[in-house]
Structure formats: structure tokens, C-alpha cells
Structure 1
């Protein structure tokens, strides 16, 4: 299983994200995930830089592969624009780029005043968007009018030698079944072996990536405090993360999340056995790659500890 580092645009400045990418490569992480948001989940997180600018900077600072986790190419940004952005990112990364996409969240996608569709419509839009992106990557002029998207005499001139793979995020059996029709790979944040197996069985074993979080600190108590302050939204149930439209709504809903709930669900503090156990959980679920994000200010210590003590252990397990 390949171990990568997950860059959280919701929490860190562009300079910090590039710093983390460089440190992750130095420590021995093998690839990068990077989130694509217009808003953070709450004001305490406090950041949300434009992901394509950050990817450009990372491409000049490291040699690691990069996957967006995830881009929504359907409402806030037209798929033709994403096709151009992703093609440029792949060129700058010498082909080491995966476009990770998903049906998105109202939090980020409603900002231009568009209505937020139901899941079935969003998945239909996503499938059409992915097909259009792939067609544009072929390099010809494209004029097309689909159910949701129209382009006229559109051509992507700056393209990599080979088109990037497109991985798709999904949660639950219906979403996984839907994305098997058009995904080059599967993305999730849950160590759900059933969903991984469901995807791989339907696609002949296509790859699966996962992301998870830790809160590095000198003590577990401090780590839990950090996770509770910055990421209480991670414990919100069901479809709330897809349908709540604003940072304020997430902050209101997160008041229902207790510190004990965060303590129970978070890997926090410096105990490497706990960190290793989380990674093994994703490995045992069948993921081919897992990307670890740090919550809070101690990302340097987390990256250094993983590089010194944890990544060598995982490599020896292969």
C-alpha cells in the first residue's frame, strides 16, 4: 500500500501547503492528495486557497504525484474549465497527476446562486462532465450540447502526453455502483472493505485511494482538543456534509458534536502504534493508497515522525 500525505486547503495557507508537500517528500511520503474547496468547513479552519494555483507551486517544489481530493466539475466550475486546469496541472507535474472528482457539497458549489440538485441529478451531471472532460483532452475542437453542459469550438491546447486518470469519490453502495460506469479509480475516506470490494469486483480491480486524518500533539489530550476545535464537522452524520450550504450552518450543526465523540473517532497524539493501526485498517479494507492529513499546528512534527519511525515500518510490511 502506498502512503501519501493529504494537504488540507481548508486549514493552511498556500505557503504552508507547499512547505508540507516539500517536507512530505523529504520524509518519504510517496504522493499527495489536496482538497479543492471554495470555503472551509468552519471559520476556525480559516483558509481556502484556489487549489490550481497551489498545485502549480507544488509542481515546481516537489516531484511527488498529486491527486485532487476532490474537485467538483459540475456547478461552481464548468467542466471545460476543469479540463483545461487539470491538463495544465498534468503538464506541470510531468504526467504525475490524477483528477479526483465527486458530486460535491452545497457548501462550495452554491456560491454562484445555482440551485443544489438532488444526488441523482448531481451524479448524472458528474458523469456527463467527466465524459466532456475526456473528450476535450483528445485535442480536437469540441462543439457539444448535452443535457447539462454546452461547449462551442472548445479546444485544449496545453495537454500532457497521456490524459490523466479520473478517480471518483463515492460513499455507500448506490454511489459506488454509479461511479463504476466511468471511474478510473475509487476514492473514499472510510475504511469500508465492502465498498472497496464492490468497486473492484465491478471494474476488474481498478485502484482505490483513501484519505484519513490525525491530530499530532505532545499528548493525546492536546490532540483531541485540536481535532475538536478544528474538525468537529468530521463527526456529522449522514448527508449533512453534502447539503448544508454555509460555514455558519456547519458551525451550528457541529455544536451537537461532543468532545467525547471526537476523542472516540480521532487518532490524536504521538502514539505511533495508534497511527499505524489506522493505516492498517485502510490496508486491510483493500485500499491501494492511503493519504494522511494532519489537523492543527504540529504538522512538521507529524511529518518528521512518520518519516523517521512509521513509513519505514510500513515499507517493511510490503
Structure 2
């Protein structure tokens, strides 16, 4: 049975409402969950940004689902702190927590006041962070002087099985690099050709036999116009390709960049429909590419109708067809 997970978007929904949503998602039949980890939203219209790590403890306690979090260690977060947080959650909730690690976006990382490095440097810094965290999970005392500095760090509370570190990639080039160090891959919905290149590159880079996951952005409503309205209102600031999405710093910068986005442009980044059967087909095609799991992100701020409708009319069909 494939993993069909619920994506909890901290930049769009306040933490209390998001906790209720993920409890409802489990009741509706979602068998996993993941969340974003932002300091600021992508747009002033989204208007939230709760602290993911505090919320994760509550969400893991309130459900029986496995949880992942998208995280960028190295600038806003020191890797030893992330290792400590991940180890604590994994000790409390064994084998239910994982991290999707990426090189980050300036929208979150600029708050430290440090210079925003070029992509190659960010990747190298992420690689160092992964090495540091693996050593800490193994019980080693770590000292390092490189792109990240660590002084005699040791984790005193560790789980029996360390959390998996999944690599986040949106390009074939990054996926190839991720294949060399990650326990798996997660990417976002794109054209099938691009996704196939990402999968092939990840496997060629060392990811053969490791799980691959897809985060799918969805706008569902009972009618087509409302579904498109939701996508355009909440997600038009999120359609930009790198490096623009990596380098803009403030929500108002994203809002300014999105002033000329047309409603019809949303279909390239978001699966927009009012027909549950259409989602069965679209999501089934992604599973057919070889993904081990899908994490569904309804980009609207109201989640209940999406969760209940998908629980009744989409998830059972996907599970039955696999």
C-alpha cells in the first residue's frame, strides 16, 4: 500500500487549527503526514508561520502517524540543535519521525543577518551538516571547523534507531547529488518528464533502492472556479522557479513578483479540479512513475472539505489500485 500523506502548511494555517486538521486527516484515512518549517510565509495573504518543532511534538502525540519535516540546517539552525531536536522526537516516538533536508531559502534564512551563500556553497554546507548529524546520532563527540563550526558536541539522549534524513530536490542535478548521501528523495509535482529525470538522476547518484516521495500541491473545491480562486489567492507567490524562489527575502517581495501571474498560470504548479475522480487519475499516474508515497498539500487555508472528500472519494481508490 502506498503512503498517502497529509502535508501541514505552517505558513498558511495557525498551529492550533493545523493540529485539528492533521487529527482529522488520520481519521479520514491518510496514513502519514509531513510539515513545512518556515520563519515567514511566502505571501502576506498566507499570514502564518508557527514553529514546526514545537508543533511536531503535539502532532505526534495526538496521532499515530509517521511525520516528516522539511528543514534547512546550516544558517538559521545549527546542525547540532536539529540533531538534538530530531533525536528527542525519535526517542519519544520511535521510527515515526524523519527529516527532508534542503539547502534553504533566503526567505527564512536571512533573519540571522549573515550573507546568503551561492547555491554551491549552500549544498556543501548542507553536506557538512548531514555529516555532523550522522556522527551525533552515532553517539560521537563532534568538533568541526568548516562551513559549519561545531565544538565538542555530543547527544546524550538518542533513539535506538536514528531518524531518516531524506534529501529534498527539485532538479535532476540536485537529485543526483542527494543520491550520494540521503536515505531517500522527496520532490514536488512537475511534468512527468521532469520527474522521471529527477528519479533517474537520484538513482544514478547512489539512490538505487531508496524510497522516493512526491509532495503534490492541490486546490480542491466543489466547483472549478472556486478551486482556481483558492490556488490563485494562496499559491501564486509560490510558482517561481529557482533561483528566484531561493533568493527573495520578504513576503512583500514574493507578492510583488507575483503581481503579473495570471490565473491560468496556476495549472503548471498546482493540481486544480473540483472532481475527485480526476485526482484519482492524476495521483495514480504519479504513483505509476515509481513514487513510494505522495504527500498531498491542499493549498487552501480551509482543510476540512478537502480532507473529508479525499478520505471518502480519493484515498480508497488509490489504495485499492496499488
TM-score, normalization by structure 1 = 0.95
Deviation at 1:41, TM superposition (A): 0.2
What residue is the counterpart of 2:159 in the other structure?
160
What residue is the counterpart of 1:172 in the other structure?
171
Moved more, 169-178 or 109-118: 169-178
Deviation at 1:264, TM superposition (A): 5.7
What residue is the counterpart of 2:125 in the other structure?
125
Provide the secondary structure at the position in 2 that maps to 1:211. strand
Structure 2: state its 5+ residue gaps: none
Deviation at 1:281, TM superposition (A): 3.1
For 2:245 and 2:109, the matched residues in 1 are separated by 12
CA contact (8 A) 1:216 1:298 kept: no
Q: 2:281 aligns with which of 268, 277, 283?
A: 277
1:225 equivalent in alignment to 2:226: no
For 2:207 and 2:222, the matched residues in 1 are separated by 43
**1:297-308 counterparts in 2 under 5 A?**
297-308=301-312
1:42 equivalent in alignment to 2:43: yes
What residue is the counterpart of 1:193 in the other structure?
196
CA contact (8 A) 2:21 2:304 kept: yes
Deviation at 1:180, TM superposition (A): 1.6
For 1:154 and 1:200, the matched residues in 2 are separated by 33
Deviation at 1:109, TM superposition (A): 0.6
For 2:163 and 2:242, the matched residues in 1 are separated by 31
For 1:166 and 1:265, the matched residues in 2 are separated by 26
What residue is the counterpart of 2:316 in the other structure?
312
Cα deviations by residue, 1:290-316 (Å, 9 ceiling, x for unpaired): 100112244111111111111111111
For 2:19 and 2:146, the matched residues in 1 are separated by 39
For 2:310 and 2:236, the matched residues in 1 are separated by 24
Cα deviations by residue, 1:264-295 (Å, 9 ceiling, x for unpaired): 65333430122223312321332111100112
**1:50-129 counterparts in 2 under 5 A?**
50-68=51-69, 70-129=70-129
Deviation at 1:156, TM superposition (A): 1.2
For 2:66 and 2:232, the matched residues in 1 are separated by 31
Flag the 1:72–1:264 CA change in 2: closer, same or farther, 3 A. closer
TM-score, normalization by structure 2 = 0.94
What residue is the counterpart of 1:30 in the other structure?
31
Q: 2:212 aligns with which of 208, 212, 215?
A: 208
- CA-based RMSD of the aligned residues comes to 1.5
CA contact (8 A) 1:95 1:161 kept: no
Cα deviations by residue, 1:95-127 (Å, 9 ceiling, x for unpaired): 211111101101001111011111110000000
Flag the 1:209–1:277 CA change in 2: closer, same or farther, 3 A. same
How many pairs were matched up?
316
1:260 equivalent in alignment to 2:264: yes
For 2:31 and 2:80, the matched residues in 1 are separated by 30
Flag the 1:135–1:311 CA change in 2: closer, same or farther, 3 A. same
CA contact (8 A) 1:40 1:46 kept: yes
